[in-house]
Chains A and B, each alone.
Chain A
């Protein structure tokens, strides 16, 4: 079955080449080849996720994550492919035991994101059918390169490979925005490219840093053995987890040991402190790239611009998938590889920024007159919620965050589709130009209201579950780093603000007396056609399905989420113990000082 996963990577690449070779003359052929390709991708992704779900539901009942080291255990990673790309060290018997690998696989964290990518690609091909008329073959070629990059990031289990795919996504989108975008497309494309590239270069430092430093810390700890470089994420996380457990334990043991071990104790403490300091830098470096991508306020200003200028397909993929690369990076790499730093630095800083983002993004949305900009800023707000759940660092919050990634991909993707469809009809995105479209475009209005409801978290649809779990996770945050209750309560204002800007838009555009925008050259305006329906229906269906039957989702993501939550929980308990100890020492010192007086 591993071929299926490889097919998901090979197929877009092949299609990109084929489409490019078809040349500018054969646009119909380009479109049909693309459609077939995305349909096959979607089919493969669906088969993969269904099989994965079936196997998971059968076995999760017996899975116990607390056994053994906490990591994405390789026996849970299904359909994996592990090939050495760049051997670094060869063992005595001739096998390569250290290498940069082509290591891809499917586990609970990425399976739904991969499916989402395939699904949104289908809608993108459909929605570009008539919207893109120039350099069609190039457009579709870039689109497929983008698909390769996105699927690759999610599927990677090697940090270097992850990074390569991460950067690969920039190039096609740069061209998609820069060539087929709106009037300011070049400025937007350049800003998007440079901003995110600058951030992600630091991410590269971070991922290399963690891989390089680990053997060093281990060598200090256990000088007898040779410690090899590895870039495989499961392996790295297992090592980090081991260090995080062993180092403090050593310190504790030495503290209880006789006085003549003082020197050893100091050494052990130094090692622990060193490891934690490194974690901080690793975390900050990785954060630079991911936080720009998410985007966290105040690093978000590239986003509205890129969205407004991008063609509909670009916007859909940008909002639906590319922003998730940031949150996914935090979930897959930052939190498990730097748990202490995530807790001490990530929770207060990113947690607070997430709340700022929820409120700030919502007010920005509220102030817009351009529908597309409104939706773009709403992404900032929704991703803030996603980050809030993520940095609750507990099972509920992390699950909510991952679900929120899918939800946002579906609902915001669909919103951009709908805005695009409206734009294609009337060639304006100014809300003030519209009124009473509900009486004019029945189906479009129905879909818009439906997706709006999903976006504002109506229970029964998907958005609510993400909201409930993300807020609930933060509400239940037990560390002393932040007041989880306060952050969650502030974040909950997004519930009202989100409804406010979305319903204001719906009221302005779809309610009220009918007023069609004045635009020369549009003929008879008709409601959604079959192609547009085909693009919207699966998304709407999934919104409903996830809302009432999220069980498969929760079942499949549980083991990996528990791993991440477990690692973070260990860090939290340690921090609490240390704080309690420090507090006790403080109290004792003050008491002794007082006695002396």
Chain B
């Protein structure tokens, strides 16, 4: 394998070039060929990523030294003063391909290329066709920069960049008020997290050695820890601040509210950005910062707890949603919660192997989730495409004959998500639960708490299987119902009611099939064989090269039973006894409303944050206009008034002036005399 170092920069730069080309020439020159730069760049980037993967893999095989597994390039960006003891800032456009980032880059370039191909069909004929592909290319650039960055500043560039692309793509159909509102909401809510993230970066820089690259910071913290001079409080603060960013980007509780609304964007965007790649950036960040998190048990338990809360909360919400894409969005939050649960459960006191295992479990779930969730979204998009942009599950049903290919691919994704034995989701979810279980068994300050989190994880697994198959059965089973919009969409077809032509074109279904193969098989191929684990375990910074990875049959059987139970329950309620849900709703009206209205979290924010802030804004505006400015005017008036008072002095009478002169002279003389 030749040296891949000189070409590493191609991974982000190829999509960037595509973005620039499409942005500049798309609308005028390329028009309906605008997807070519994006797809070609995606393929190119994927090839380079594969080369990088092979190089890193070879490095791992060749030596046991960590440094050998990294390939870096560097180009100066910010340099103010001397870093380190000079208390300056120095960072560059440094790319770093180690096991973790290569894995991410592979996944991102692959999934994005597949989704770009799908979009050729999905976005066909849209007014903003070129703009769409320009923005998707820009997104791929930002995302690959994010995962390949070797320092926090560049990571932050990618981080904000993907946020920007998310903003632009959610608001792709910007003339729709809902899309416009969702775009702004997504950007602002994640920005709240990013503010914490930025402060976390500054804290790490300012208090842990004045460096911004991972290597130096981790080394500094490591040394301080060994020397016993580590400030635990500061490190915990730093980790929690970093977590803020992760929580915002990965849509975890309490900043999860933007993701469901983000479904206003085109469905390929939901699949790419809001399921497979961008939202996993938070997981990547925490995984990347493992060397910091393992030193502060409190930050770890916060990570795990937020993850578990998000997983359970959004699974409960997903139970009652009627919008197919929203069900999937909530399930994304829920699955990301699993990843955080795993990351937070890697407590070092239970052995260094557990730390590595936790990272592996989280990233493995991230990896498999990217495939099956992208698949589910794209299948949902295919349904939506066929149904004339209707996505409300109450308006269609029994589509499995109408959309046979979509039906099969959706089923593959649903089974994987539900954790059906031997499919992708099963392996990775099992590992996540295993980590929490192990953390609960071994001695650490929060031991019993981890057991509770494990139970939450199990419950969520059951709920996941249930709501996924609820959506599946509602869409593809039961009586065949097709909304009239579906036929308006296909003008050329004369016969209304003719359903055979509704299936999406091959350019959409073939990507679905590719993803379906991965969703079914990737877990079984990479999981039990330890191929994935052995590779990612060689990420520098992880304390142990070998994870305590064993097939835990207890969790495995338990979670299988739960998953099958959930699926069976959904089958019984939505196929066998379709009147059960309605009765259940009637019986537990309060709970149903709570879930349907997303636990009223949006309303709570509205009432307790937005409204007071709006009031404060009005107050400040009025204060500025009428109080502060009036004070200024008053000062002006004061001098005017003074001038008015003194005006009589200049009365033009010579006698008065003479008198004043005499008086003045007298005062002056007296002063002079008394001084002598």
- A368 vs B184: C-alpha distance when bound (angstroms): 18
Inter-chain contact B88/A395, CB cutoff 8 Å: yes
Give every chain A residue within 8 A of B210 (Cβ-Cβ). 476
- A499 vs B188: C-alpha distance when bound (angstroms): 7
Looking at chain B's contact residues, the main secondary structure is: helix
For residue B663, CB closer than 8 A to chain A, the reply is no
Among B78, B164, B175, B624, which residue has its beta carbon within 8 angstroms of that of A550? Answer: B78
Instruction: Report the minimal beta-carbon distance from A57 to chain B, rounded to whole angstroms.
Output: 12
Interface string of B177-196 (1 = CB under 8 A from A): 10111011001100110110
Among A394, A458, A469, which residue has its beta carbon within 8 angstroms of that of B161? Answer: A458
Among A301, A438, A469, A511, which residue has its beta carbon within 8 angstroms of that of B629? Answer: A301
Among A364, A492, A507, which residue has its beta carbon within 8 angstroms of that of B620? Answer: A364
Inter-chain contact B187/A499, CB cutoff 8 Å: yes
Instruction: Report the minimal beta-carbon distance from B277 to chain A, rounded to whole angstroms.
Output: 18
> In residues 335-392 of chain A, which contact B (Cβ within 8 Å)?
360, 363-364, 366-368
Instruction: Report the minimal beta-carbon distance from A435 to chain B, rounded to whole angstroms.
Output: 9
- A426 vs B180: C-alpha distance when bound (angstroms): 22
> In residues 311-353 of chain A, which contact B (Cβ within 8 Å)?
none
Instruction: Report the minimal beta-carbon distance from B639 to chain A, rounded to whole angstroms.
Output: 9
Give every chain A residue within 8 A of B17 (Cβ-Cβ). none
Inter-chain contact A301/B202, CB cutoff 8 Å: no
User: Given A364-B620, A471-B198, A492-B199, does the pair A554, B156 have CB atoms closer than 8 Å?
Assistant: no
Among B153, B191, B621, which residue has its beta carbon within 8 angstroms of that of A459? Answer: B153
Inter-chain contact B88/A503, CB cutoff 8 Å: no
Inter-chain contact B636/A194, CB cutoff 8 Å: yes
Among B79-87, B289-297, B433-441, the stretch that binds chain A is B79-87
Instruction: Report the minimal beta-carbon distance from B143 to chain A, rounded to whole angstroms.
Output: 14
For residue B77, CB closer than 8 A to chain A, the reply is yes
Instruction: Report the minimal beta-carbon distance from B630 to chain A, rounded to whole angstroms.
Output: 9
Inter-chain contact B160/A458, CB cutoff 8 Å: yes
User: Given A367-B617, A548-B77, does the pair A471, B202 have CB atoms closer than 8 Å?
Assistant: yes
For residue B670, CB closer than 8 A to chain A, the reply is no
- A485 vs B204: C-alpha distance when bound (angstroms): 12
- A364 vs B619: C-alpha distance when bound (angstroms): 9
User: Given A492-B198, A492-B199, does the pair A195, B617 have CB atoms closer than 8 Å?
Assistant: no
User: Given A363-B620, A513-B177, does the pair A503, B188 have CB atoms closer than 8 Å?
Assistant: yes
Interface string of A449-478 (1 = CB under 8 A from B): 100010000111000110011011001100
For residue A480, CB closer than 8 A to chain B, the reply is no
Inter-chain contact B188/A511, CB cutoff 8 Å: no
Inter-chain contact B157/A459, CB cutoff 8 Å: yes
Give every chain B residue within 8 A of A360 (Cβ-Cβ). 620, 624
Give every chain B residue within 8 A of A438 (Cβ-Cβ). 174-175
Among B167, B171, B632, which residue has its beta carbon within 8 angstroms of that of A195? Answer: B632
Instruction: Report the minimal beta-carbon distance from B132 to chain A, rounded to whole angstroms.
Output: 15
A513 to B, closest residue via Cβ? B175
Interface string of B106-127 (1 = CB under 8 A from A): 0000000000000000000000
Give every chain A residue within 8 A of B78 (Cβ-Cβ). 465, 468-469, 550, 554
Inter-chain contact A476/B174, CB cutoff 8 Å: no
For residue B206, CB closer than 8 A to chain A, the reply is yes
For residue B616, CB closer than 8 A to chain A, the reply is yes
Among A194, A298, A469, A507, which residue has its beta carbon within 8 angstroms of that of B184? Answer: A507
Instruction: Report the minimal beta-carbon distance from A143 to chain B, rounded to whole angstroms.
Output: 28
A500 to B, closest residue via Cβ? B188
Among B77, B205, B616, which residue has its beta carbon within 8 angstroms of that of A472? Answer: B205
Instruction: Report the minimal beta-carbon distance from B404 to chain A, rounded to whole angstroms.
Output: 38
Q: Which of A194, A368, A472 has the most CB of B within 10 A?
A: A472
Inter-chain contact B632/A301, CB cutoff 8 Å: yes
Instruction: Report the minimal beta-carbon distance from B440 to chain A, rounded to whole angstroms.
Output: 35
For residue A489, CB closer than 8 A to chain B, the reply is yes
For residue B3, CB closer than 8 A to chain A, the reply is no
Inter-chain contact A514/B175, CB cutoff 8 Å: yes
**Interface residue count on the B side (C-beta < 8 Å):** 51
For residue A399, CB closer than 8 A to chain B, the reply is yes
User: Given A458-B164, A512-B177, does the pair A489, B199 have CB atoms closer than 8 Å?
Assistant: yes
For residue A573, CB closer than 8 A to chain B, the reply is no
For residue A277, CB closer than 8 A to chain B, the reply is no
User: Given A301-B629, A459-B160, A476-B206, does the pair A511, B183 have CB atoms closer than 8 Å?
Assistant: yes
For residue B618, CB closer than 8 A to chain A, the reply is yes
A298 to B, closest residue via Cβ? B628
B168 to A, closest residue via Cβ? A449
User: Given A458-B161, A458-B164, A512-B175, does the pair A396, B87 have CB atoms closer than 8 Å?
Assistant: yes
Among B87, B184, B621, B628, which residue has its beta carbon within 8 angstroms of that of A394? Answer: B87
For residue A577, CB closer than 8 A to chain B, the reply is no
Inter-chain contact B77/A469, CB cutoff 8 Å: no
> In residues 50-105 of chain B, which contact A (Cβ within 8 Å)?
76-81, 87-89
Give every chain B residue within 8 A of A399 (Cβ-Cβ). 80-81
Instruction: Report the minimal beta-carbon distance from B579 to chain A, rounded to whole angstroms.
Output: 41
For residue A493, CB closer than 8 A to chain B, the reply is yes
> In residues 110-161 of chain B, which contact A (Cβ within 8 Å)?
153, 156-157, 159-161
Interface size range of chain A in the complex: 35 or more
- A438 vs B172: C-alpha distance when bound (angstroms): 11
Instruction: Report the minimal beta-carbon distance from A562 to chain B, rounded to whole angstroms.
Output: 8
- A485 vs B205: C-alpha distance when bound (angstroms): 12
Give every chain B residue within 8 A of A472 (Cβ-Cβ). 89, 202, 205-206
Among B161, B202, B616, which residue has its beta carbon within 8 angstroms of that of A460? Answer: B161
- A311 vs B538: C-alpha distance when bound (angstroms): 62
A305 to B, closest residue via Cβ? B629
Inter-chain contact A459/B156, CB cutoff 8 Å: yes
User: Given A503-B187, A548-B77, does the pair A367, B618 have CB atoms closer than 8 Å?
Assistant: yes
Instruction: Report the minimal beta-carbon distance from B606 to chain A, rounded to whole angstroms.
Output: 15
Inter-chain contact B81/A395, CB cutoff 8 Å: yes
- A87 vs B202: C-alpha distance when bound (angstroms): 51
Interface string of A71-100 (1 = CB under 8 A from B): 000000000000000000000000000000
For residue A496, CB closer than 8 A to chain B, the reply is yes
> In residues 599-653 of chain B, which contact A (Cβ within 8 Å)?
616-618, 620-621, 624, 628-629, 632, 636
For residue B39, CB closer than 8 A to chain A, the reply is no
Interface string of A114-155 (1 = CB under 8 A from B): 000000000000000000000000000000000000000000
- A459 vs B76: C-alpha distance when bound (angstroms): 15
B632 to A, closest residue via Cβ? A301
For residue A48, CB closer than 8 A to chain B, the reply is no
A550 to B, closest residue via Cβ? B78
Give every chain B residue within 8 A of A554 (Cβ-Cβ). 78-80
Give every chain A residue within 8 A of B184 (Cβ-Cβ). 503-504, 506-507, 511
Instruction: Report the minimal beta-carbon distance from B380 to chain A, rounded to whole angstroms.
Output: 25
- A24 vs B188: C-alpha distance when bound (angstroms): 51
User: Given A366-B617, A438-B174, A503-B187, does the pair A396, B195 have CB atoms closer than 8 Å?
Assistant: no
> In residues 235-257 of chain B, which contact A (Cβ within 8 Å)?
none
For residue B203, CB closer than 8 A to chain A, the reply is yes
User: Given A469-B89, A499-B188, A507-B181, does the pair A475, B206 have CB atoms closer than 8 Å?
Assistant: yes
For residue A439, CB closer than 8 A to chain B, the reply is yes
Among B81, B195, B616, which residue has its beta carbon within 8 angstroms of that of A495? Answer: B195
Inter-chain contact B175/A368, CB cutoff 8 Å: no
User: Given A396-B87, A511-B175, does the pair A368, B157 have CB atoms closer than 8 Å?
Assistant: no
- A298 vs B206: C-alpha distance when bound (angstroms): 31
User: Given A475-B206, A513-B177, does the pair A495, B624 have CB atoms closer than 8 Å?
Assistant: no
12 cross-chain CB contacts under 8 A: A191-B632, A194-B636, A366-B617, A367-B617, A465-B78, A476-B202, A485-B203, A492-B195, A511-B171, A511-B179, A512-B176, A512-B177
Nearest first, the 4 A-B pairs at minimum CB distance are: A367-B621, A511-B180, A459-B157, A301-B629
- Known contacts A194-B636, A476-B210; can you find 4 more A-B pairs with CB under 8 A? A458-B161, A460-B157, A504-B184, A511-B175
Report which B residues bind A (CB closer than 8 A).
76-81, 87-89, 153, 156-157, 159-161, 164, 167-168, 171, 174-177, 179-181, 183-184, 187-188, 191-192, 194-195, 198-199, 202-203, 205-206, 210, 616-618, 620-621, 624, 628-629, 632, 636
